[in-house]
Amino acid sequence: MEKQVKRIGVLTSGGDAPGMNAAVRAVVRTAISQGIECVGIRRGWNGLINSDFTHMSATSVSHIINKGGTMLYTARSEEFREPSGRAKALSTCKLLGLDGIVAVGGDGTFRGALALSRQAADAGMALQVVGIPATIDNDIGCSHYTIGFDTACNTAVECIDKLRDTMQSHERCSVVEVMGRHAGYLALYVGIAVGATAVLIPERELDFERDIVDKIRRARLAGTTHYMIVVAEGAGSAMDIANRIHDEIGMDPRVTVLGHIQRGGSPTARDRETASRMGYRAVMSLMEGRGNRVVVTQDGRVTDMDMEEALQMVKPFPMERYQILESLTCRQPSLF
């Protein structure tokens, strides 16, 4: 069967996530194996607007599977949100002769890709797009897992384990703020993994007495002299929480904001393998004539679904994991 796809572009957009390089590598090498040329678009949608691109070969993606960040760089583009900006991007697509684009990123990246494809169709151009979900927040509704989440969790766990050593030595309370934007997946996962005293997430309304004071008090009565509070950035400021602990309990907590360190580092095996499978699936989707799709993981399988449908989905938060956390942190006071 004659291939309809001759040349595709690949880009990374939005916040970077460990494993993006593995996804780019998979897209490039899968395309080449199928006789398709691949063009790397630098700096996300800005690259399409400004004709910032590079020809990709199998060699150009050698030795990047273990690298954090993205070799194609990433950026957000306000200009691309406007039809005039997308018109410039389409001019670049026409210049390069692109039949499709694989966009690695989050919901915003996918919305931009879908808008570009629709504007291309209105202009009489056949441009198909496929999205690959990559964000440490793991908050994309259509996919059970997003590239970068596992690495970010492991990074946070490693940092908190080291913090615990000094908190235990000084018998102190530590309040650690992790990333996650408006979602608590990262905080809850990490909180369970480090045995946190309490975890604050945006999906659960804060009751300071119940969620912090009572847990610290029970832990102290049970003989514990150091405490770890994990706060999702969407649930509030770690500094505000620490100040309130000081005011209401009289402790002097130490605050640590992990910040962008969670986005860096060598991706874990899970992120490398998942990114590789997703990159392969993205190219095959274009090869099979199924454009405007998002590659997703569903019950361990990598598949793809309609992009418009995918963007309307909302991921249910696993509150049963919070119940697990509650059970594991329950302390019975010692008998005197």
CA distance 205 to 184: 12
In this prediction, residue 2 carries a pLDDT of 44
In this prediction, residue 169 carries a pLDDT of 85
In this prediction, residue 331 carries a pLDDT of 62
109, containing H or E segment: helix 107-122
Q: Is 239 helix (H, G, I), strand (E, B) or coil?
A: helix
CA distance 184 to 191: 10
Question: pTM for the full model?
Answer: 0.93
Q: Are the C-beta atoms of 36 and 279 separated by less than 8 Å?
A: no
The arrangement of secondary structure in 152-263, i.e. its CATH architecture, is: 3-Layer(aba) Sandwich (3.40)
CA distance 4 to 17: 32
Closest CA to 34 of 297, 291, 281: 281
In this prediction, residue 332 carries a pLDDT of 62
Domain boundaries, the chain: 7-148+267-311, 152-263
Q: Is 205 helix (H, G, I), strand (E, B) or coil?
A: coil
Catalytic status, residue 207:
no
In this prediction, residue 224 carries a pLDDT of 86
Please, what are the averages of pLDDT over each run of 10 residues along the chain (336 residues)?
80 96 98 97 96 96 97 94 97 96 96 96 95 97 97 97 88 93 95 95 95 92 90 95 94 94 96 98 96 94 96 92 86 54
- 99, 137, 150, 271: which is the annotated catalytic residue? 137
The two domains 7-148+267-311 and 152-263 share their CATH topology (first three levels equal)? yes
CATH number of 7-148+267-311: 3.40.50.450
CA distance 76 to 270: 27
Strands 293-298 and 301-306: antiparallel
Q: Which residue bears the tokens 């991706």?
A: 267
In this prediction, residue 181 carries a pLDDT of 86
Identity of the residue numbered 237: S
Q: Are the C-beta atoms of 106 and 141 separated by less than 8 Å?
A: no
Q: In a 10 Å sphere around its CB, with 0-12 CB exposed, 13-18 middle and 19+ buried, how is residue 263 labelled?
A: buried
